Amino acid sequence: MDFLSAFGRFLQDQVLGMQWLSGWIGAILEALGLKLDSTLGGSLHFFIYDTIKIFILLSVLIFGISYLQSYFPPERTKRILGRFHGLGANTAAALLGTVTPFCSCSSIPIFMGFTSAGLPVGVTFSFLISSPMVDLGSLVLLMSIFGARVAVVYVVLGLVVAVIGGTLLEKLGMDRYVEDFIKNAPNIDLEREQLTCRDRAAYAKEQLLSTIRKVTPYILIGVAIGAVIHNMIPQTWVETALGSRNPAAVILATLVGVPMYADIFGTIPVAESLLFKGASLGTILSFMMAVTTLSLPSLIILKKAVKPRLLAAFIGICTAGIILVGYFFNFFQYFFVI
């Protein structure tokens, strides 16, 4: 038992958290004459360490996930989802979203393709909700910062929101509010030739480089904001606005997050700094979910594919789910944060 506990701490601190990297960077900065407890030294340490850590974890994850995805081209995925019905179909679509390392804007074309292929709108929306909100990358990165409990429960609750959200949209008969050009789009079902291991590795490399190019600006911006919060924003400010004493903090964080545009990798360093400064766990996670799932640019793109009533229902269901998740984590924060 002691061995498992020690191994868990090693995995958390040294493999995922990369504390060895933090020590190396701190030693280099101190050798250059910078004090880590100063504003400049602390900010540089946070920025360099978090940036390198995120890119290392992201590169390993995206390559592995993309290699796995090469076994499931869009045509095969559509057929697999078509075999499920009812709640099982929504669950399968939500789980599919966890292995797609896409931001909300990148997920919408896939949602359109699934819809035009004849999949029920509730199923396609379960995918659309889960794809940017939860994925294997977010699971590992959240584990590196908040621990395994928070990461696993975050992903599970995100999947629950996706399944319930898609199911509600299906029950409300929202399929009639999808634009006609989406429903009537031609569906070309082509078999992809059998790929070799080298082909799959090349595909994974291509996906990795493409994803890195897309997310780099958001990671750098997110880490920079995190460094400012971590070393320059007074803790009392954060505690007052986003701490447990403000009962509306979850709602505030959700509404603030909606107009922004980033992916899960760019918001995690901000979340890390907010937690360090005294923000409540659920408030932080609600902010992350809102930014990644309901970003304004993605809603603008989605508006071209669905009619206003369906768009409003999607926003309302997601917002309500995100707020409930936030209050859940705040209520049980003592259990998650040790």
Measured between alpha carbons, how far is 97 from 162 in angstroms, rounded to an integer?
A: 9
At residue 317, the pLDDT reads 87
Residue 206 lies in a domain: no
Within a domain: residue 170? yes
pLDDT of residue 188: 46
| For the chain, the helix, strand and coil percentages under 3-state DSSP, each to the nearest 5 | 80, 0, 20
Quote the tokens at residue 154. 């975050």
pLDDT (0 to 100) of residue 102? 54
In a domain? residue 205: no
Q: Which residue in 62, 281, 84 sits closest to 166, CA to CA?
A: 84
Q: Return the pLDDT at 235.
A: 67
Where in the sequence is the domain holding 58, given as residue range(s)? 2-188+223-336
pLDDT score at 190: 44
pLDDT tens, 113-139? 777 767 788 888 888 888 777 766 667
The per-residue pLDDT for range 166-181, each reduced to its tens digit, is 899 888 888 788 877 6
Report the C-alpha gap between 113 and 93 in whole angstroms.
13
Q: Is residue 211 part of a domain?
A: no
Residue 94 covered by a domain: yes
Q: How many domains does the chain have?
A: 1
Classify residue 57: in a domain, yes or no.
Answer: yes
Sequence-ordered list of residues with C-beta below 8 angstroms from that of 295, at least 6 positions apart, any chain: 103, 104, 105, 258, 259, 260, 261, 262
Is residue 201 in a domain? Answer: no
Give the number of other CB atoms < 10 A from CB of residue 140: 16
Q: For the chain of 338 residues, list the mean pLDDT of each consecutive stretch of 10.
A: 64 73 89 84 85 82 76 68 78 79 60 74 84 72 78 87 90 81 56 72 83 78 76 69 80 78 69 80 86 73 81 88 90 73
Examine residue 203 and state whether it is found in any structural domain, yes or no: no
Q: What sign has the CA pseudo-torsion 140, 146, 150, 155?
A: negative
